[in-house]
Structure 1
Amino acid sequence: MRRALTLILLGAALTAQAQVPATLAHARDLAAIPGGWLALDKHALRLVDAAGSERATIAVRGRQLDVRADGDGALALVVDANAERPIPVRVDAAAGTLTALPALPEPGYGIEAACLYRDAHHLTHVFTVAKDGQADQWLLGAGQSPARHVRHLALPPHAQHCRVDDTTATLYVAEEELGVWAYRADPEGAPLRRPVALAPPFGKMTGGAGALAVLPDGLAATDGKGKLHAWRRAGDTWRAAPVPRIDAGALASGDGLLARTADGWRPVKLAWAAAVKPAAALPIVVPRAQTASVARAGDAADDPAIWLHPHDPAASRILGTDKKQGLLVYDLQGRQTQLLEAGRLNNVDVRQDVAFGTERFDLAMATQRDENAMVLFTIDANGTVSEAARLPTELAEIYGACLYRPKTGGLDAFVNDKDGRYLHYRIDRDGGRFTAKVVRRFRTATQPEGCVADEASGRLFVGEEKRGLWVTSAAAEEEAKLTMALPVGGLLHADVEGVGIYRAGTRSYVVVSSQGNDSYVVLDAAPPYKVRGAFRIGIDAVAGIDGTSETDGLEVTSANLGGPYGRGMLVVQDGYKRMPDGPQNFKLVAWDDIAKALRLD
């Protein structure tokens, strides 16, 4: 029969030389907390002080104990083996109390493994894993608030244990008979899986894996025979580290490692170098609202634009493309007001009060990928959008686009192809119909997408996905000489996707989607294009709005849209809709929150 194994994280205040009270020698699971210990046995979860005296108990036939420190106390998680439900427990070490918080909803399966994760925003999550690999991620509510379901996952079958390294947002799962896997713990973004150590013939870990413990920049585990292993992380790989030969029934780690042997819990001496100091985390802002999801599943939503109501800012509209259906229109509360089934639309942009002689229009333009065409839409004074024209282009794979109003009047459109070609079109009116002709051509070396024209300065910013953000003149009569404003590297990670301009008075910023690390970079829109910082968009746990990841398109305005948007709004496409899982949508962020996070003027 396979051994029951456990790994436990010690508090940083304790070392491997910490003496476990004799009264806890037979505890199945153990966790250090400030001033004492939490111990789990067949009958109860027990709070024990440093001298070994029991201070509080919760009767439960529990398993899978995990803990996160909270000031002078802790938050613990234990699985009720009878009810098959995880129970969070508030630990007050000073008062000597254990308080069971509301249990998570029944997952609909027997729980083989469960563990905690504290994210960069200091929110606490729970992972639950079934025998067949079904898994879920939950966000714990504050106090007596119920937990929210974040997402479903597919994890290995026969999971023996799981632990999360909060610093690197890595979920480790021990698969019986096979080994240890590393997953992405952050719910945003594409799921990632990498092997840490596997059993033959794939690796050298005999008999798979059982218990796990997170070490600084690494991991400890026991194999199927109870032998101890440890690995040091090096980027996306893990290298075996020397450990003493020991048969362990359970482990605990922190500044050191404890092992439960036949003689009880004892320290394990590891020659473990100090952890590499992690890079400073980017500031997190939370969305104020989100739109309804698009109707199509998968990679569908792509790019937003903002139309400003001429008299009532609160009646403004957000336009968003669905690459599988058409153009969606939302109000500022995120409610869908229109759907125009115009086909596979990619990028969209808006310009208002565009003059063609005596005629004036509010116009949106989107690229139509099936027809390699530009689709023009008119927007009336009430924010109602109507298709007005389809203008063919010379491109073979039309992709990104943006609009520009020359000082001489009319409208220019920049559209690009995946091969790097840019066509600069002049849009005009002839006999009551919209027309378009090419007035300039240029190209990037590799695939572009997002672009934005700054009409105040006459500059055009062009995103090249793998290389960075370029700038050139937006004027048709000038040479389109591309100058690098911000290369990929540092804060900007490929792919470079959505680009927007924020202008308020004499200050203007470019906002760029740094898709490779799910963040947004802000830089000055004037030379030398100084970078002002970067931020991520996180979870609003109270409102139940998830964060954002893999953003394709974005738009920003400095217009006073009322309420929290007094200094403007950023709208971004969200590549993974969570809380709950669903089709993609767009998130609305108050510019004031961004300005405070980055200390902008």
Structure 2
Amino acid sequence: MKTMKQSLVCAALLAAFAVSTTVVAAPLPAFTQQADDLVRLPGGGWLALDKHGLHLFDAKGREQDSIAVRAKQLDTRIDGKQVLAVFLEADTQRPVPVTVDLQAGKLTRLAPFPDATFSVEASCLYRDAQRLDHLFLIGKDGQAEQWVMQGEQRRLVRKLALPPHVRHCRVDDGAKQLLVSEGNLGVWAYEAESEGMGKREAVALRRPYGQLDGGAGALAVLPGGVAVLDAKADRLHLLARKDGRWTASAAQTVDLRVRKGDSQLALDQGQLLLRGKNGWQSRTLKWQAQSAQVLPLAIVEPQAQTEPMARQGDAADDPAIWLSSNPADARVLGTNKKQGLLVYDLQGKQTQLLEVGRLNNVDVRQDIDLGGKKVDLALATRRDDNTIMLFSIAASGELEVAASFATGLSDIYGMCLYQPKTGGIEAFVNDKDGTFQQYGIGMADGKFSATLLRSFKVATQPEGCVADDASGRLFLGEERRGVWTTSADAAKPDALAMVLPVGANLTADVEGMAIYHGRNGAPSYLVVSSQGDSSYVVLDALAPYKVRGRFRVGFNLQAGVDGIDGTSETDGLEVTSSNLGGAYAQGMLVIQDGYKRLPDGPQNFKYVAWRDVARALKLD
């Protein structure tokens, strides 16, 4: 966290830059003039990449170390006196990371990346909020890959489709944007975060679509914006991004005299460096745009993940947790909207599949007194015929279909269960039109029944809900508006009251929610999926419902063979405070992941230890 705060301070200091049309009179050091790429280092030294290799110079211009190699595409990340550099070997097109020891004046090659499967034209680094270093590789034909590195590990995160004819790219870490220069068209901005579907913005396009002459060349990231040379490298464009829009200042004429596509830009302590036929020249910056000051969210790592869905696309939706007398034998239930209900063990291995149709939400209650005996049940909404499906759960954790009930709804969606203190079991189901129905589930002579107890409605589309059996409150999510609460007792209804509106802490859509029941008098918490920004909100489960914090789920590169990616665009989630042993001694949170990475694959569910959430948010 300290490092992230330091980065924000550095960004704020850099944000005082701007542009003057006057070339600075003081020339750059002579040794820089043959370099194809330049990077100013802390303390005044330089990294220079030329046709003979990578060179490290101190502030007095003395060469301290070098790596002999034919290379191109130098990019760096600097954190205090720690410097990471990556270049592309020209012959193999293989990315090679290098650490720079400023105190010892040494360059050290790290383990290279695997050979590329396509012709790499551009590469650039990205350091994410988790402080993990990523590398984007882009081919001339638009093929692209995102890799993550940690120590000696090099892992493919995802494949991307980017524009063809890209020779330059840079990443704005603060804005989490990958900027690519499409030579014959212009500059595009993509989401650098791998989780999620991704978005694209046009930054600057060639005429007649924009102001660039002939397309785009080299890029340099500025705080809150970007500097771009046009394709002929004779005009410099400066663009700022504010409130989701890109605005350009007046273009400036430059005299670089380089071939189309051979231009280069770099940033140096308040100056913009431009490479031309006769070496590098500099221009003073008086840049007024500010980097977005986004407070970092806590990040927790998943401990395990389930096997992927057997269906591609938007398939996984909502999980539930069944507890065994032996904690290690607990089961996670997960719906597949294209197939049915799946069951997993605590290692994420699938133990059962019930192909019963397009199930959406699922919930579990145990030790229910029905028909004179104790039973464990799971209920789910089936969208094929707008019914409630009921499953019985054996002591072994095996499920089987027990019954189904018509609801009369036209587009059934979410559901949750309620176990009143007086006994029995009740189910809340909802429709996309905002209708909620509450059913009492009964059993006589071995047959289950469902009796409608009440109906009510919210103004717009709901989905997720959870009932707190201890307090008798129902919490429900209206996707575009926020989280409401009302009495879960059908005989004592009360008006809906807003608990957490969409706003600073919650980004639409409001999706899954669950209750963490504190043990031995400890507080209980409501956990809500903030789908719009792939985060999770934790608030008190009792009035006044104070927000305790927000977090995201990041990568765990140490888990499993390939590591585990984070979560994004979550639909459903579930949590238990029961001691499931090991990392889950304080409980477990199960989260649906909208996009499976490391590598790409069908959706699945991630397991998060509650101890990690509690530690990250400083919960009681």
Tell me which interval the TM-score lies in, with the shorter structure as reference length: over 0.9
Which of 224, 239, 244 is 1:236 aligned to?
244
Partners of 2:232 and 2:342 in 1: how far apart? 58
Pair 1:292 & 2:307 matched: yes
Match of 1:536, SS state, is strand
2:108 alignment counterpart: 99
Deviations 1:10-53 (Å, cap 9, x if unpaired)?
99899997963211112111111223111111121111112222
| Aligned partner of 2:181 among 174, 187, 198 | 174
1:561 aligned onto 2:561: no
Corresponding residue for residue 208 of structure 1: 215
Residue 520 of structure 1 pairs with residue 539 of structure 2: no
Structure 2 Cα separation of the partners of residues 450 and 287 of structure 1 = 22
Residue identity in the other structure for 1:547? G
1:262 CA drift (Å): 4.0
CA distance, structure 1, for counterparts of residue 276 and residue 604 of structure 2:
52
Q: Which residue number corresponds to residue 161 of structure 1?
A: 168
* Counterpart residue type for residue 235 of structure 1: D
Distance 1:278 1:188, change over 3 A: same
Q: Deviations over 1:264-292 (max 9, x none)?
A: 32321233126245121111011011111
| Contact 2:17 2:285 (8 Å CA) reproduced | no
Q: Does the 8 A contact of 2:579 with 2:586 survive in 1?
A: yes
User: 1:92 offset after TM fit, Å?
Assistant: 1.0
Q: Which runs of 5+ in 2 are unaligned?
A: 1-9, 19-23, 257-262
- Check whether the contact 1:76–1:89 (CA below 8 A) recurs between aligned residues: yes
Specify the alignment match of 1:368 in structure 2.
382
CA distance in 2 between counterparts of 1:229 and 1:566 reads 56
Q: Deviations over 1:305-350 (max 9, x none)?
A: 00011x2111101000000011111111111111111110100000
d(CA) in 2 for partners of 1:487, 1:533: 15
CA shift for structure 1 position 244: 4.1
Matched, 1:267 2:282: yes
Counterparts of 1:321 and 1:404 in 2: how far apart (Å)?
19
Q: Do 1:34 and 1:73's aligned partners in 2 also have CA atoms closer than 8 Å? A: no
Query: Aligned equivalents of 2:281 and 2:17: distance in 1?
Result: 11
Deviation for aligned residue 1:73: 3.3
Change (3 A) 1:19 1:288: farther
**2:72 is the alignment partner of 1:63:** yes
Q: Which residue number in structure 2 is paired with residue 140 of structure 1?
A: 149
| Letter aligned with residue 241 of structure 1 | S
Q: CA offsets, 1:47-103, max 9 Å, x none?
A: 111222211111111111100014323111101110011111111121111111121
Native 8 Å contact 2:271 2:284 kept in 1: yes
2:202 counterpart SS class:
strand
In 2, Cα distance between the equivalents of 1:15 and 1:278?
16
Per-residue deviation, 1:371? 1.2
Query: Does residue 533 of the first structure (1) align with residue 540 of the second (2)?
Result: no
- For 2:37, the equivalent position in structure 1 comes to 29
User: Larger deviation: 429-438 or 465-474?
Assistant: 429-438
1:276/1:58 Cα in 2 relative to 1: closer, same or farther (>3 Å)? Answer: closer
* Distance in 2 of aligned mates of 1:242 and 1:272: 13
Distance 2:239 2:590 in 1: 42
- 8 Å contact from structure 1 (residues 244, 270) kept in 2: no
Q: Give the structure 2 partner of residue 6 of structure 1.
A: none
For the structure 1 residues 169 and 15, does the alpha-carbon distance in structure 2 shift closer, same or farther, using more than 3 Å as the test?
A: closer
Secondary structure of 1:389's match?
A: strand
Q: 1:474 Cα shift?
A: 0.3
Is 1:600 the equivalent of 2:607? no
Letter matched to residue 196 of structure 2: G
Question: In 1, Cα distance between the equivalents of 2:413 and 2:314?
Answer: 15
Query: What is the distance in 1 between the residues matched to 2:82 and 2:299?
Result: 26
Shift of 1:360: 1.4
Q: What is the aligned counterpart of 2:58 among 49, 55, 72?
A: 49
The answer on whether the counterparts of 2:438 and 2:455 sit within 8 Å (CA) in structure 1 is: yes
Alpha-carbon distance in 2 for matches of 1:260, 1:564: 53
1:571 aligns with 2:584: no
SS in 1 for 2:476: strand
Structure 1 CA distance for aligned equivalents of residues 494 and 608 of structure 2: 33
Residue 564 of structure 2: aligned partner = 545
**Amino acid across the alignment from 1:146:** Q
Q: SS of 1:463's equivalent?
A: strand
1:3 corresponds to:
none
Query: What residue is the counterpart of 2:128 in the other structure?
Result: 119
SS at match of 2:395: coil
TM-score, normalized by length of structure 2? Answer: 0.93
CA distance in 2, matches of 1:590, 1:242: 53
Percent of pairs with identical residues:
58
Could you tell me how far 1:578 is from its partner in structure 2?
A: 0.1
The residue aligned with 1:456 is 470
Structure-1 residue corresponding to 2:5? none
Whole-angstrom CA distance in 2 between matches of 1:20 and 1:511: 56
Deviation at 1:146, TM superposition (A): 3.0
Q: Secondary structure at the match of 2:524?
A: strand
Measured after TM superposition, the shift of residue 256 of structure 1 is 3.0
Query: 1:391 offset after TM fit, Å?
Result: 1.2
Aligned ranges for residues 301-312 of structure 1 at < 5 Å? 301-309=316-324, 311-312=325-326
Q: Is the 8 A contact 2:175 2:292 kept in 1?
A: no
Q: Which amino acid aligns with 2:158?
A: R
| Contact 1:293 1:584 (8 Å CA) reproduced | yes
Alignment of 1:386-405 (within 5 A): 386-405=400-419
Aligned residues: 589
The answer to whether the Cα contact below 8 Å between 1:574 and 1:586 also exists between their aligned partners in 2 is yes
Instruction: State the 1:107 CA deviation.
Output: 2.1
Aligned twin of 2:260: none
Residue of structure 1 equivalent to 2:487: 473
Q: Give the Cα separation in 2 of the matches to 1:371 and 1:158.
A: 50
Q: Work out the CA distance in 1 between the residues paired with 2:494 and 2:389.
A: 25
Task: Tell me the residue number matched to 1:315.
Answer: 329
Counterpart amino acid of 2:590?
Answer: V
Per-residue CA distance 1:427-472 (angstroms, 9 max, x = gap) = 1113311111211000110000000000000000000000000000
- Higher mean alpha-carbon deviation, 161-170 vs 505-514, is at 505-514
User: Of residues 189, 194, 219 in structure 1, which corresponds to 2:226?
Assistant: 219
Q: CA RMSD in A?
A: 1.7
Match for 1:140: what amino acid?
M
1:151 to 155, 158, 169: 158
| CA distances 1:465-508 after superposition (whole Å, capped 9, x unpaired) | 00000000000102242110010000100000001001114311
From 517, 526, 529, the equivalent of 1:510 is: 526
TM-score scaled by length of structure 1: 0.95
- Contact in 1 for aligned 2:96/2:112 (Cα 8 Å): yes
Q: How far apart in 1 are the matches of 2:88 and 2:558? A: 25
Return 259-268 or 62-71, whichever deviates more. Answer: 259-268
- Any idea what SS the aligned residue of 2:253 has? coil
CA contact (8 A) 2:321 2:333 kept: yes
Q: Which amino acid aligns with 1:332?
A: L
